[in-house]
């Protein structure tokens, strides 16, 4: 019998941040006597990189080198409140709080520099490399380090900032379901190419092509980490994993990683990503969080590709070889649908 | 509390065994149970007897110590015919630990090396020298094994294939081994074994009988394929259902016998 | 009942009293204070606890601690030589080959065992080498690329 | 590992001139990861550390007649045995912190167990082994009860009651209905007008977050009469709040430390370990570690719950979807936790990123006798998207249309009115579809290739909240008495009609304005350009993308008032500068008022500087350029046209 190729498509959007709002994030920023900055949060880094993104957002807003900025987080004695790391809210909510805190700290930094250079603060700019100078007169400059030292020991001025970002809690209407679900949405469209063995029902993803719109890739490599890892998890959800293989019967639930199936290193799929950036007006530098949504389009795209390959409607997850084989048998054989979009 | 007793020779270790003790091979089975607080045993018995890790020729057979690991098999030129089965047992770390003797005791769906040895009609030599067929040993699965006696197959007579869902390493949907001996160009005295299709690795007599005297081609093996799961009741588990195993066994048996590449 | 075990840990002599039945992972973390190998399952199927014993990768959660007496154990804690990172560590940094970092120590040990034996592995040899190490964040691709990159760097060095 | 950045798309709305943002800066935490020094919660050493294991229910559903732990208490190594009676506030629900739902879940079960694995006792001992042995020495006398595992069987009148707080086996919404409603337009009439009706049912089974680090916490006595808790939580203060509530102690006495977690994926928000570890620490005066083993993480840790969705579409011959009705069942398992909230998030997501004039849905949070569900990556959305995008392919086949063209035809655009009665903005679904089609050679019709999220939105009926038929079916308890079908409008309940433009909830979708003037970033430094009306039709990638910038009046939402003294320059993103007057309470039907500020003159949009400025601070592997084609399987080179 035969191996059939299939191609499937899906596209989605995703709400960024806790759905009904009411999920505040706070940030504190302060300078050391020699112009290094600490960003103090309560966010949790699960691997998504909130420490790294937070550091970049603070450095950009302050106008200082990123090497001079460090995030310290998740000590309830020192960090201000944050709702938590979930719902793709870290970048959006905490990012906005960091920008506000860093903006307040920057204002005082420029005021301190203005006093040193005897000019007005609005005339000053930062060059991002540790210097503050008069707009249009780079030679009239002072280093961030000298400014911080002067502020600390001569001016008696603190270079610090606070920031909070809160999307007000939205009610939900009991009769119409009216609500304000968040303020910005990420988007994705994805095409799966796969093969189906019509003798065993085995599905093997061959290629993923995707386009993810993430507002702004605040750190391209961290975004790629999410999109590659997320798409892998999407393949895993679509074809492999479940805590109840015979749901809703509870028997045979896996209790170890050997029996909780996930694609292995040998199943790693070539995934070509296009990143689109339409900045969300209320997001930090326009950046939306790509973390949660990147797996979502993969599941239906795989199901649609399996139908394209052999004509079996896969409407229950995971799409195991057994379900595909039973579908092929019920149709009296494979029913390839022909290449879409040809 | 749990006690550990170490003996210099496997004989002394065997004497110390009782139903509250477990014999420690590579640890991949027993230590898993220890970590999860299995209360069916409170003593671990082990030996530092180096002879258990030896591979020696004995007449026209090879004696493989029960302590020989999967990695040692893959590294051994004499046992090259077993390397595909050894590679099927866990990743590199597990293969440095999992022993041949341990593999004979592995619960469903593990035991791929035992499947290969079953098809090679290996003989089990117990610690006090008593010998029995691997098939008989698997029926009782107790006592301390000293070594296995294996007759090297000729040419490409021996075939092994593991079907799993995860690449490159996953737990068995099923594994199959075939020792395709011939006489006068026809199959004769063939041995077929399956893994993960029954409570333990199992010889499949119905298929062996259907292959007696046939030529190794589509026509010749047709009867064997239709008898692929005769007498077997493959289990449901998180990896696959009994229905699925029964339905695809003939496909994988055909691919094994005719050497079709496993996609 | 505690019994003494002496072995070499990352090149230096180490002696520790172990409870009977204790596994090497617990002994390394609680006994020796080397927190680099991690608990992921206690079943030998995730690889987060991978260490090298006499240069060979083992899942330390399934190693009876007493069995390493007199042998050499290596963990990711000892991978760098002083301030100088191992090429694998450098490649994981530059290749963004870690997100949460919990599987990274085990991955590095499996990769080191591979490169020590096979300085220029193929892609499928790398996949086989880490086939016992699960990662839930990265999708494996950046890790495989980083190991191949480290092999190239070492080859060049 | 590189990807292709389509900087040409939406270039007119974005300036990319930054020092640090947009750069591939190395992770701050990477050195710790590669040396094994990153401090996860369990990477803290304590002398005299005690360990905790739980006695768990072997039954799906059973009454606890009696618990005998006397033998266990006498075993050597056992320091303390804790039951529900030892927990000051034993019953809680996670979202009580944002007062959503009633306390329904015991930390340790006392009178009954509702799922296999539910904890009854927590045993604290000097070693994990001693605790495991003591667990086996506890005798719990259970009286098995009938159980239910299927979400729709749980709604039947004869189904056993799973969660005593919600005797109809569904979460009560607004103390009124047994489901969350969504009503927009009139689906019944629209179905009767449709050329095709397309139905489908979709089922997702539970999935485990499966982080490599299992959930856990260590609670240790600290100085000044406080407890330090090292935790793998995903929400630090959430866990502080739950612990303070259940131990009935001031949160000032709790010092939580975390922030470096071995993967969460939603599985570490339930805050089950911190209260138990802290309780044991208080009870013993010693540090206590409570960590799940892998088997517990898989079967006792909250999964993403199973979801069952039914969709019915009314479609016209030309592919326009004019009506879509959903029935959704979230399998919450034995207790509410976050499932009630997931249902509302999911409802806010329907009917998917498409502008459909008539939408109705009933979504249920159903209790069954299995492990309670919790959050997982894509919380409340993943299964709905699976159903919606599978269904879109069925619709495409029913009308004989290319699947991508069907999506683009129905895609939502800036200015469309969404089913939860909010205006769509910042849309990019169409451009995403076009980008992936283009690079894979999936040919699209002229219309589909030229479509844009920024044109055609909000025109005619699409920009208006339609007159809407409402109903009062599915009041609490009604389904158990009458066995009413779960679909919208399936009963004889009284119908209502809301006039066009009706809105009852005008909460703003924007963040609060900054608290103080100097917290307000200058908009020029935030990378926005004035939104132009020019459709960013899909051009070739960055190298020659010059979109001709025809100056047109930017589409401002109605009544966006600028505060006095707002600076000119590009139109300001509302979130940053003012608390917008609600745009919702006036009927939308009015034509959008001319924005008072005039947009800055539109300079011709030049493609962004090709090579980002070489900032020697950030390491610059991004500038190493794209790998040569064919070198790695993850290339983009060969894809470029």
Q: What is the pLDDT of residue D556?
A: 27
Q: What is the pLDDT of residue D333?
A: 98
Res. B263: pLDDT tops 80: no
Q: Is the dihedral of CA A17, A18, A19, A20 positive or negative?
A: negative
On whether any CB of chain C is under 8 Å from the CB of A271, the answer is yes
Which phi and psi angles does D436 have, rounded to 5°? -75, -35
Domain ranges (residues) in chain C: 2-78, 87-156
D177 and D251 belong to one structural domain: no
Question: Cα torsion for C87, C93, C99, C103, to the nearest 10°?
Answer: 20
Q: Which long-range contacts (CB under 8 A, 24 or more apart) does D580-587 make?
A: D580/D508, D580/D510, D582/D506, D582/D508, D583/D423, D583/D557, D583/D558, D583/D559, D584/D421, D584/D422, D584/D503, D584/D506, D585/D503, D585/D506, D586/D558, D586/D559, D587/D500, D587/D501
The CA distance from A195 to A207, in Å, is 10
A190 and A322 belong to one structural domain: yes
**In this structure, which CATH number among 3.40.50.1390, 3.90.1150.10, 3.10.20.30, 3.20.20.390 belongs to the domain C2-78?**
3.10.20.30
Q: How far is CA A223 from the centre of its chain?
A: 7
Which phi and psi angles does C149 have, rounded to 5°? -65, -40
The neighbour count for residue D37, using CB atoms within 10 Å, is 15
- C87-156 in CATH: which number? 1.10.150.120
* CB pair distance less than 8 Å for A225 and C43: no
- Which residue, among D509, D591, D598, has the nearest Cα to D557 in the 3D structure? D591
Q: What is the pLDDT of residue D531?
A: 53
Q: What is the pLDDT of residue B262?
A: 54
Any domain includes D570 = no
Sheet holding C50-53, edge to edge: C12-19, C2-9, C72-74, C50-53, C56-59
User: Angle at the Cα of D385 (from D306 to D186), degrees rounded to 5?
Assistant: 105
Any domain includes D26 = no
Contact D523, A279 (CB under 8 A): no
D121 and D167 belong to one structural domain: no
* CB pair distance less than 8 Å for B91 and C131: yes
Q: What is the pLDDT of residue A31?
A: 98
* CB pair distance less than 8 Å for C96 and D1: yes
| CA atoms within 13 A of residue D148's CA, in its CB half-sphere | 23
* Separation in Å, CA B123 to CA B149, D345, D450: 5, 63, 73
Q: What is the pLDDT of residue D591?
A: 30
* Distance from the C96 Cα atom to the nearest Cα atom in chain B, whole angstroms: 23
Given a cut of 50, the residues of chain A with pLDDT beneath it are: none
* Separation in Å, CA C13 to CA C16, C73, C74: 10, 10, 12
Write the CB contacts of D437 (distance below 8 Å, at least 6 apart in sequence): A189, A191, A341, D404, D443, D444
Which among B4, B90, B168 has CB closest to C64?
B4
Q: What is the pLDDT of residue D550?
A: 24
On whether any CB of chain B is under 8 Å from the CB of C57, the answer is yes
Which phi and psi angles does D622 have, rounded to 5°? -60, -35
- Subunits with 3+ C-beta pairs closer than 8 A to C: A, B, D
Which phi and psi angles does A217 have, rounded to 5°? -80, 90
Q: What is the pLDDT of residue D529?
A: 87
Q: What is the pLDDT of residue A1?
A: 77
At the top level of CATH, the class of B158-258 is alpha beta
* Separation in Å, CA A5 to CA A198, C120, D25: 11, 34, 40
The CA distance from A213 to D431, in Å, is 9
Q: What is the pLDDT of residue D216?
A: 98
Q: Domain end: D268, D299, D330, which one?
A: D299
pLDDT in tens, C80-93: 998 999 999 999 99
Any domain includes D41 = no
Q: What is the mean pLDDT of chain B?
A: 96
* CB pair distance less than 8 Å for B4 and C61: no
Sheet holding D78-83, edge to edge: D78-83, D119-125, D50-56, D288-291, D216-222, D226-231, D254-257
What residues are paired with D222 via a beta bridge? D226
3-state secondary structure of B48: coil
Q: Which domain holds residue A271?
A: 3-16+183-330
Give chain A's domain count: 2
Which phi and psi angles does D591 have, rounded to 5°? -65, 140
Q: What is the pLDDT of residue D97?
A: 84
Residue D370, exposed/middle/buried by CB under 10 A (0-12, 13-18, 19+)? Answer: buried
Question: What's the DSSP call for residue C65?
Answer: G
Residues of B in contact with C21 (CB under 8 A): 1-4, 34, 44
The CA distance from D403 to D252, in Å, is 57
Check which CATH number belongs to the domain holding D485 and give it: 3.30.365.10
- In the numeric block, the tokens 């180096």 are attached to B50
Given a cut of 50, the residues of chain D with pLDDT beneath it are: 1, 532-641
Q: What is the pLDDT of residue D480?
A: 86
Disruptive mutation site among D1, D7, D16, D20 for chain A (greatest number of A CBs within 10 Å): D20
Question: Cα torsion for D152, D153, D154, D158, to the nearest 10°?
Answer: 140
Strands C50-53 and C72-74: antiparallel
Alpha helices in D285-381 (DSSP H): 294-299, 339-349
Which phi and psi angles does D375 have, rounded to 5°? -75, 155
Q: Domain end: D270, D299, D328, which one?
A: D299
* CB pair distance less than 8 Å for A278 and D402: no
Contact B86, B73 (CB under 8 A): yes
- Which residue, among D389, D207, D446, has the nearest Cα to A188 in the 3D structure? D389
Scored b (16 or more CB within 10 A) or e, D546-563 reads ebeeeeeebbbbbebebe
Q: How big is the A-B interface in CB pairs under 8 Å?
A: 65
Strands A37-41 and A69-73: parallel
Any domain includes A196 = yes
DSSP A106-132: HHHHHHHHHHHHTS-GGGEEE-SSSEE
Residues of D in contact with B41 (CB under 8 A): none
What residues are paired with D610 via a beta bridge? none
* CB pair distance less than 8 Å for D298 and A44: no
D191 and D217 belong to one structural domain: no
Contact C64, C23 (CB under 8 A): yes
- In the numeric block, the tokens 């005798």 are attached to D139
D259 and D367 belong to one structural domain: no
Q: What is the pLDDT of residue C154?
A: 84
Any domain includes A342 = no
Q: Which domain holds residue D13?
A: 1-17+527-538+545-552+596-641
Check which CATH number belongs to the domain holding A75 and give it: 3.30.365.10
D292 and D194 belong to one structural domain: no
Q: What is the pLDDT of residue D523?
A: 84
D308 and D295 belong to one structural domain: no
| CA atoms within 13 A of residue D617's CA, in its CB half-sphere | 20
Fold classification of B50-151 is 3.30.465
Residues of D in contact with C135 (CB under 8 A): 212
Res. B176: pLDDT tops 50: yes
Any domain includes D413 = no
Strands D216-222 and D226-231: antiparallel
Strands B61-65 and B21-23: unpaired
pTM over 0.95: no
Q: Which two tokens stand for residue D489?
A: 């409008």
Which among A47, A232, A256 has CB closest to C100?
A47
The neighbour count for residue B182, using CB atoms within 10 Å, is 15
D223 and D264 belong to one structural domain: yes
Helix (H) / strand (E) containing A312: none
Q: Which two tokens stand for residue D445?
A: 């019709």
D86 and D106 belong to one structural domain: yes
Which among B167, B238, B263 has CB closest to A259?
B238
D-chain residue closest to A130, CA distance: D617
- Subunits with 3+ C-beta pairs closer than 8 A to D: A, B, C
Interface of D to B at Cβ within 8 Å reads 53, 128-130, 132-133, 135-136, 293, 295
- Which residue, among C67, C72, C79, has the nearest Cα to C54 in the 3D structure? C72
Write the CB contacts of C84 (distance below 8 Å, at least 6 apart in sequence): none
A62 and A159 belong to one structural domain: yes
Write the CB contacts of B12 (distance below 8 Å, at least 6 apart in sequence): B47
Residues of B numbered 127-156 whose beta carbons fall under 8 angstroms of chain C's beta carbons: which are they? none
D309 and D335 belong to one structural domain: yes
Contact D209, D236 (CB under 8 A): no
D366 and D485 belong to one structural domain: yes
Domain ranges (residues) in chain B: 3-47, 50-151, 158-258
Residues of D in contact with C33 (CB under 8 A): 45
The CA distance from D342 to D170, in Å, is 14
pLDDT in tens, B180-220: 999 999 999 999 999 999 999 999 999 999 999 999 999 99
Check which CATH number belongs to the domain holding D125 and give it: 3.90.1170.50
Scored b (16 or more CB within 10 A) or e, D161-193 reads bbbebbebbbbbbeeebbbbbbbbbbbeebbee
């Amino acid at each position: 019998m035969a191996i059939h190729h299939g191609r499937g498509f899906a596209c989605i959007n995703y709400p960024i941040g806790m759905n009904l709002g009411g999920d505040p994030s706070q940030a504190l920023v302060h300078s050391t006597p020699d112009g290094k900055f600490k960003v103090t949060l309560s966010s949790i880094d699960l691997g998504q990189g909130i420490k790294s993104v937070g550091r970049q957002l603070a450095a950009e807003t302050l106008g200082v080198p990123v090497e001079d900025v460090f995030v310290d987080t998740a000590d309830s004695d020192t960090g201000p409140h944050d709702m938590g790391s979930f719902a793709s809210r870290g970048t959006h909510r905490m990012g906005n709080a960091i920008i506000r805190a860093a903006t307040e700290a920057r204002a005082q930094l420029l005021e301190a520099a203005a006093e040193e250079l005897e000019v007005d603060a609005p005339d000053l700019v930062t060059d991002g490399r540790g210097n503050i100078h008069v707009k249009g007169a780079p030679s009239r400059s002072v280093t961030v380090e000298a400014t911080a030292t002067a502020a600390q020991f001569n001016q008696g001025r603190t270079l610090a900032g606070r920031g909070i970002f809160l999307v007000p809690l939205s009610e939900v209407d009991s009769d119409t379901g009216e609500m304000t679900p968040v303020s910005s949405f990420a988007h994705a469209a994805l095409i799966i190419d796969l093969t189906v063995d019509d003798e065993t029902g085995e599905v093997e993803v061959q290629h993923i092509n995707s386009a993810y719109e993430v507002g702004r890739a605040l750190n391209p490599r961290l975004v790629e980490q999410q999109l590659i890892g997320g798409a892998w998890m999407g393949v895993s959800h679509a074809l492999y994993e479940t805590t109840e293989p015979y749901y809703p019967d509870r028997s045979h639930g896996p209790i170890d990683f050997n029996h909780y199936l996930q694609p292995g290193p040998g199943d790693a799929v070539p995934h070509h990503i296009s990143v689109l950036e339409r900045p969300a007006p209320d997001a930090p530098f326009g950046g939306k969080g790509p973390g949660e949504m990147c797996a979502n389009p993969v599941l239906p795209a795989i199901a649609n590709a399996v139908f394209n390959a052999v004509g079996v409607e896969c409407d229950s997850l995971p799409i195991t070889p057994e379900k595909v084989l039973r579908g092929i048998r019920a149709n009296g054989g494979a029913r390839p649908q022909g290449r879409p979009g040809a | 509390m749990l006690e550990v007793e170490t003996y210099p020779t496997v004989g002394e270790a065997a004497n110390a065994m009782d139903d509250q003790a477990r014999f420690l091979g590579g640890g991949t089975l027993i230590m898993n149970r220890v970590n999860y607080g299995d209360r069916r045993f409170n003593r671990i018995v082990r030996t530092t007897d180096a002879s258990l890790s030896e591979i020696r020729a004995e007449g026209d057979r090879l004696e493989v110590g029960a302590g020989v690991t999967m990695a040692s098999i893959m590294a051994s030129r004499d046992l090259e015919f077993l390397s595909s089965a050894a590679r099927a047992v866990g990743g590199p770390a597990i293969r440095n630990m999992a022993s041949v003797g341990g593999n004979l005791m592995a619960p469903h769906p593990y035991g791929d090396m035992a499947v290969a040895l079953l098809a090679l009609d290996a003989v089990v030599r117990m610690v006090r020298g008593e010998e029995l067929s691997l098939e008989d040993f698997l029926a009782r699965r107790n006592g301390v094994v000293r070594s296995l006696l294996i007759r090297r197959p000729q040419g490409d007579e021996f075939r092994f294939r593991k079907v799993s869902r995860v690449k490159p390493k996953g737990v068995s949907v099923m594994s199959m081994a075939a020792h395709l001996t011939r006489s006068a160009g026809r199959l004769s005295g063939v041995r077929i074994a399956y893994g993960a299709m029954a409570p333990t690795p199992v010889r499949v007599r119905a298929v062996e009988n259907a292959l007696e005297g046939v030529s190794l081609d589509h026509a010749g093996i047709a009867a064997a394929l239709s008898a692929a799961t005769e007498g077997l009741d493959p289990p449901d588990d998180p990896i696959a259902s009994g229905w699925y195993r029964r339905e695809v066994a003939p496909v994988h048996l055909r691919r094994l016998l005719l050497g079709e590449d496993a996609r | 009942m505690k019994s003494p075990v002496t072995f070499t840990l990352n090149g230096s002599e180490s002696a520790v009293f172990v409870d009977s039945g204790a596994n090497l992972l617990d002994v390394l973390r609680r006994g020796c204070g080397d927190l680099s190998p991690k608990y992921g399952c206690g079943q030998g199927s995730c690889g987060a606890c991978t260490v090298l014993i006499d240069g060979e990768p083992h899942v330390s959660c399934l190693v009876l601690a007493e069995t390493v007496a007199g042998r050499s154990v290596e963990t990711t804690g000892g991978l760098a030589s002083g301030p100088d990172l191992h090429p694998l560590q450098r490649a994981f940094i530059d290749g963004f080959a870690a997100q949460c970092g919990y599987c990274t120590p085990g991955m590095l040990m499996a990769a080191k065992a591979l490169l020590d034996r096979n300085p220029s592995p193929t892609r499928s040899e790398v996949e086989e080498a880490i086939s016992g190490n699960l990662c839930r964040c990265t999708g494996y691709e950046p890790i495989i690329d980083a190991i191949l990159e480290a092999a190239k760097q070492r080859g060049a060095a | 590992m590189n990807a292709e950045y389509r900087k040409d798309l939406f270039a007119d709305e974005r300036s990319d001139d930054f020092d640090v943002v947009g750069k591939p800066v190395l992770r701050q935490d990477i050195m710790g990861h590669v040396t094994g020094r990153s401090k996860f919660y369990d990477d803290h050493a304590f002398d005299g550390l005690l360990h905790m294991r739980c006695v768990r229910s072997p039954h799906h559903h059973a009454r606890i007649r009696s618990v005998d732990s006397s033998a266990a208490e006498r075993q050597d190594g056992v320091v303390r045995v804790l039951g529900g009676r030892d927990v000051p506030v034993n019953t809680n629900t996670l979202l009580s912190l944002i007062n959503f739902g009633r306390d329904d879940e015991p930390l340790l079960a006392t009178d009954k167990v509702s799922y296999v694995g539910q904890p009854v006792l927590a045993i604290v001992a000097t070693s994990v082994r001693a605790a495991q042995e003591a667990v086996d020495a506890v005798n719990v006398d259970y009286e098995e009860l009938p159980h239910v595992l299927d979400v729709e069987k749980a709604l039947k009148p004869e189904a056993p009651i799973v969660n005593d707080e919600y005797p109809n086996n569904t979460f009560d919404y607004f103390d009124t209905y047994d489901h969350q409603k969504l009503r927009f337009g009139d689906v019944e009439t629209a179905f009767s007008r449709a050329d095709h009706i397309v139905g489908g049912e979709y089922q997702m089974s539970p999935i485990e977050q499966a982080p490599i680090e299992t959930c856990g916490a260590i609670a240790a006595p600290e100085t000044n009469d406080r407890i330090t808790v090292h935790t793998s939580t995903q929400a630090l203060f959430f866990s502080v709040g739950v612990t303070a509530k259940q131990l009935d102690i001031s949160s000032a006495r709790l010092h939580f430390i975390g922030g470096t977690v071995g993967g969460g994926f939603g599985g570490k928000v339930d805050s089950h370990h911190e209260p138990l570890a802290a309780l044991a620490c208080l009870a013993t005066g010693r540090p206590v570690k409570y960590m799940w083993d892998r088997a517990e993480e898989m079967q006792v840790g909250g999964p993403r719950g199973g979801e069952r969705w039914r969709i019915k579409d009314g479609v016209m011959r030309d592919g326009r979807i004019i009506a879509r009705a959903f029935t959704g069942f979230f399998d919450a398992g034995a207790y509410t936790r976050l499932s009630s909230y997931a249902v509302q998030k999911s409802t806010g997501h329907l009917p998917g990123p498409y502008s459909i004039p008539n939408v109705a849905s009933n979504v249920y949070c159903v209790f069954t006798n299995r492990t309670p569900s919790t959050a997982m990556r894509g919380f409340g959305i993943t299964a709905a998207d699976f159903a919606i995008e599978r269904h879109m392919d069925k619709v495409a086949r029913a009308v004989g249309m290319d699947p991508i063209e069907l999506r683009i035809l129905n895609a939502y655009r800036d200015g469309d009115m969404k089913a939860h009665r909010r205006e769509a903005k910042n849309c990019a679904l169409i451009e995403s579809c076009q980008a992936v089609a283009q690079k894979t050679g999936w040919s699209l019709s002229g219309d589909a290739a030229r479509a844009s999220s920024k044109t055609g939105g909000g025109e005619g009926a699409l920009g208006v909240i339609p007159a809407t038929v409402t109903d009062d079916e599915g009041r609490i308890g009604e389904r158990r008495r009458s066995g009413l079908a779960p679909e919208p409008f399936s009963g004889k309940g009284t119908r209502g009609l809301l006039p066009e433009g009706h809105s009852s909830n005008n909460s703003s979708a924007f963040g609060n304005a900054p608290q103080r003037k100097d917290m307000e970033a200058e908009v020029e430094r935030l990378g926005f350009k004035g939104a132009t009306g020019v459709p960013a039709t899909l051009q070739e990638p960055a190298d020659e993308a010059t979109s001709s910038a025809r100056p047109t009046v930017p589409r401002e939402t109605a009544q966006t008032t600028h505060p006095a003294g707002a600076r000119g320059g590009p139109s300001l993103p509302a979130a940053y500068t003012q608390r917008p007057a609600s745009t919702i309470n006036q009927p939308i039907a009015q034509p959008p008022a001319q924005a008072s500020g005039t947009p800055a003159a539109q300079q011709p949009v030049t493609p962004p500087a090709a090579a980002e400025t070489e900032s020697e601070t950030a390491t610059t592997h991004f500038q190493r350029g794209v790998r040569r084609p064919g070198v790695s399987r993850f290339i983009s080179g060969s894809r470029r046209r």
